[in-house]
């Protein structure tokens, strides 16, 4: 009996011990999980704070292209911020979306906002509150669907944005209501659109946001005009103008819209008064876009009045405004290129400092390690350095080849530049300012396209076509009797397929300098044909032919050799079949140069 009791007691003690050990293991496991979760949250907080600093720096970047480069570089660094779902990362993707919208890159804009939504949903699953930025991501996703005219998805995204927004966030509620009005305007359901516009406008005014309230009205005005309801549009515009009268907000657009409706109703005197006021505000706001809108309505007004003398003046003014807008855009692009260069230079310095820090850290490890470990690390470091040097050599060789190709693409005859500037100077001295301005604008666009081409391996077919026609037009302005013919396939002006830049321009230059000039009444022909993904470019002149041109063939041979080198390089790099053929024309005098190469199809 005593033995049985002792055995039972011993079994009970062992069982208690096992239970106690299991509880200790479970507690240790829970503590470990808690520690890992706390460490993970600490890492996310650190990454969020670091990325917010970079986002503040990005606010100083003005041009969209430079901002895009900056944001993408942040996502491509070692231990990238893209690996950590933080609110700052969601904000970055939303900003990247807005920058892509500014440069009209819809595909990349959609990719960016989808990534923003993905990050925000992960955050919402972790935190379950407004720190996820999910409502803003969904609202911008709705904007992307609106841009692509995907109306069901647009409505669904707006619904989701409203669902996940903070109930106290009245600004988001007004923005979503504003978006609903767009949706119902598209459905021609004006009653529902008016209801949502009124609700959005009421919230905007409560928040003191007069500008957004005004835009809400203008949104509906556009719908009224599209449906031929000019009187309803004018009534709404009067309220909008009264609301803007005592503010510092832009007013020219509203007055111009009012004039448009009055012209449609035949109330021309009232329309004139509103247009004059709109022009005054546009000049005060110094906005060429607003001036363009106002003068476009002046065209409609003077046509209705039959005042053709004023029509001519307005057409000339519109040409000048459009030229100013183009020049401003060229300045913006030049500034963007400069900013990109500075950003790359700064990042290069940062990489150099990081490399020095890595070397210093390696030395400290080397000095504090045991002899055997030092020996092994030495072997590994030596092998790593060897591999790195091999990679650097390969990278340097590749970069050198690519730079040579860019230089090949940037070739342009210095005599052409000198002659072009001389021709511009002559027109200025002869007081032919309009012709000089046209010449200078075309010359500026050509030089801008050449500078841009040196930074790009491929450009669109449409862009290259415009540059070639621009070059021929410059020659037309330079030589009074210069004649040319362009034969291009249908749709080339909107062709977004990609080709290497500056391949055909040197052939046109040869045709002008060595073919057309040597002919009594010559003509230069540019022919562009496309069969599937094969583009054929033919440049022909009516000069004396190759036998005569060989006497002054140095410049010709240099340019054709450069083109052949580029084609060989592109054929090796991209496995493409491209070639250049130069021969005398069979049917008449002159030389025919033909480039055959495949395009890179976008769609």
The burial class, CB within 10 Å (0-12 / 13-18 / 19+), for 420 is buried
- pLDDT on residue 3: 38
The answer to the question of residue 451 being in a domain is yes
The answer to the question of residue 28 being in a domain is no
Domain boundary among 367, 388, 422: 367
Asked if residue 276 and residue 363 are part of one domain, the reply reads yes
Going by C-alpha positions, the residue among 177, 154, 192 that lies closest to residue 169 is 177
Going across the sheet that includes 524-531, the strands are: 484-488, 524-531, 534-540, 591-598, 579-584
The CATH number assigned to the domain holding 575 equals: 3.30.565.10
Domain boundary among 367, 387, 419: 367
* Cα torsion 501, 504, 508, 510: sign: positive
Q: 376 to each of 96, 380, 382, 560, how far by Cα in Å? A: 45, 6, 10, 55
Domains: count for the chain: 2
- H helices of 308-370, where? 308-368
Asked if residue 561 and residue 508 are part of one domain, the reply reads yes
Asked if residue 347 and residue 473 are part of one domain, the reply reads no
The answer to the question of residue 457 being in a domain is yes
- pLDDT on residue 359: 67
Residues in the chain with pLDDT values less than 70: 1-40, 77-80, 127-131, 243-250, 332-333, 335-364, 366-371, 394-416, 418-419, 453-454, 520, 548-557, 603
Asked if residue 355 and residue 254 are part of one domain, the reply reads yes
- pLDDT on residue 335: 66
Domain boundary among 311, 339, 367: 367
CA distance 496 to 105: 12
- pLDDT on residue 182: 87
Asked if residue 484 and residue 580 are part of one domain, the reply reads yes
Residue range 223-246, pLDDT digits in tens: 777 777 888 878 877 877 776 666
Asked if residue 559 and residue 434 are part of one domain, the reply reads yes
- pLDDT on residue 578: 86
- pLDDT on residue 538: 95
Asked if residue 505 and residue 574 are part of one domain, the reply reads yes
The CATH number assigned to the domain holding 327 equals: 1.25.40
The answer to the question of residue 117 being in a domain is no
The answer to the question of residue 536 being in a domain is yes
Asked if residue 307 and residue 435 are part of one domain, the reply reads no
The answer to the question of residue 36 being in a domain is no
Asked if residue 414 and residue 363 are part of one domain, the reply reads no
Contact 209, 244 (CB under 8 A): no
Residue where the block lists tokens 């609301």: 243
Q: Which domain holds residue 588?
A: 410-598
The answer to the question of residue 480 being in a domain is yes
Residue range 335-368, pLDDT digits in tens: 656 655 655 665 566 566 656 656 666 666 766 6
For residue 282, the Cα-to-chain-centroid distance in whole angstroms is: 28
Please give the model's pTM, rounded to 2 decimal places: 0.46
Who contacts 4 (Cβ-Cβ below 8 Å, separation ≥6)?
none
Q: What is the DSSP string of 412-443?
A: --HHHHHHHHHHHHHHHHTT-HHHHHHHHHHH
The answer to the question of residue 538 being in a domain is yes
Asked if residue 335 and residue 417 are part of one domain, the reply reads no
CA distance 99 to 62: 10
Give helix then strand counts, H and E, for the chain.
21, 7
- pLDDT on residue 417: 72
């Amino acid at each position: 009996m005593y033995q049985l009791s002792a055995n039972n007691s011993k079994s009970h003690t062992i069982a208690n011990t096992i239970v106690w050990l299991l509880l200790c293991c479970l507690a240790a496991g829970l503590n470990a999980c808690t520690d890992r979760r706390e460490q993970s949250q600490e890492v996310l907080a650190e990454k969020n704070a670091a990325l917010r600093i970079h986002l503040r720096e990005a606010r100083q970047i003005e041009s969209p292209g430079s901002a895009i480069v900056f944001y993408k570089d942040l996502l491509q660094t070692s231990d990238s911020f893209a690996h950590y779902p933080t609110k700052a990362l969601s904000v970055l993707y939303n900003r990247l979306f807005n920058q892509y919208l500014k440069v009209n890159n819809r595909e990349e804009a959609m990719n960016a906002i989808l990534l923003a939504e993905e990050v925000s949903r992960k955050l919402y699953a972790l935190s379950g509150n407004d720190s996820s930025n999910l409502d803003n991501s969904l609202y911008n996703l709705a904007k992307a669907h609106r841009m692509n005219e995907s109306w069901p998805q647009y409505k669904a995204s707006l619904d989701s944005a409203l669902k996940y927004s903070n109930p106290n966030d009245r600004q988001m509620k007004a923005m979503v209501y504003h978006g609903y009005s767009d949706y119902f305007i598209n459905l021609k359901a004006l009653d529902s659109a008016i209801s949502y516009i009124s609700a959005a406008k009421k919230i905007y005014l409560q928040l003191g946001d007069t500008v957004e309230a005004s835009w809400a009205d203008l949104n509906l005005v556009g719908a009224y005009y599209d449906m031929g309801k000019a009187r309803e549009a004018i009534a709404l515009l009067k309220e909008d103008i009264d609301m803007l009268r005592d503010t510092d907000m832009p007013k020219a657009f509203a007055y111009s819209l009012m004039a448009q409706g009055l012209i449609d109703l035949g109330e021309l005197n009232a329309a004139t008064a509103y247009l004059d006021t709109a022009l005054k505000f546009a000049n005060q706001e110094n906005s060429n876009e607003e001036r363009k809108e106002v003068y476009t309505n002046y065209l409609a007004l003077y046509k209705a009045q039959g005042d053709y003398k004023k029509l001519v003046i307005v057409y000339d003014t519109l040409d000048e405004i459009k030229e100013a807008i183009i020049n401003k855009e060229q300045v913006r692009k030049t500034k963007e290129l400069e900013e990109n260069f500075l950003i790359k230079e700064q990042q290069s310095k940062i990489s150099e400092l990081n490399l020095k820090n890595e070397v210093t850290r390696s030395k400290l490890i080397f000095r504090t390690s045991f002899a055997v470990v030092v020996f092994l690390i030495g072997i590994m470091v030596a092998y790593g350095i060897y591999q790195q040097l091999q990679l650097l050599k390969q990278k340097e060789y590749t970069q050198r080849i690519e730079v040579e190709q860019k230089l090949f693409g940037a070739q342009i005859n210095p005599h052409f530049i000198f002659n072009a500037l001389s021709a511009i100077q002559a027109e200025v001295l002869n007081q032919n300012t309009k012709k000089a301005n046209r010449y200078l604008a075309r010359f500026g666009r050509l030089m801008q396209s050449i500078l841009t081409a040196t930074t790009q391996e491929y450009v669109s077919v449409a862009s290259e076509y415009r540059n070639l026609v621009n070059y021929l037009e410059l020659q037309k302005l330079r030589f009074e009797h210069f004649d040319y013919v362009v034969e291009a396939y249908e749709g080339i002006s909107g062709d977004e397929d990609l080709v290497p830049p500056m391949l055909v321009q040197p052939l046109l230059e040869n045709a002008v300098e060595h073919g057309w000039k040597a002919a009594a009444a010559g003509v230069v022909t540019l022919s562009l044909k496309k069969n599937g993904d094969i583009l054929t470019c033919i440049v022909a002149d009516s000069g004396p032919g190759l036998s005569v041109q060989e006497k002054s063939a140095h410049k010709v041979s240099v340019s054709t050799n450069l083109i052949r080198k580029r084609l060989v390089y592109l054929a090796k790099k991209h496995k493409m079949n491209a070639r250049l053929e130069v021969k005398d024309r069979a049917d008449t005098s002159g030389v025919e140069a033909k480039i055959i190469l495949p395009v890179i199809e976008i769609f």
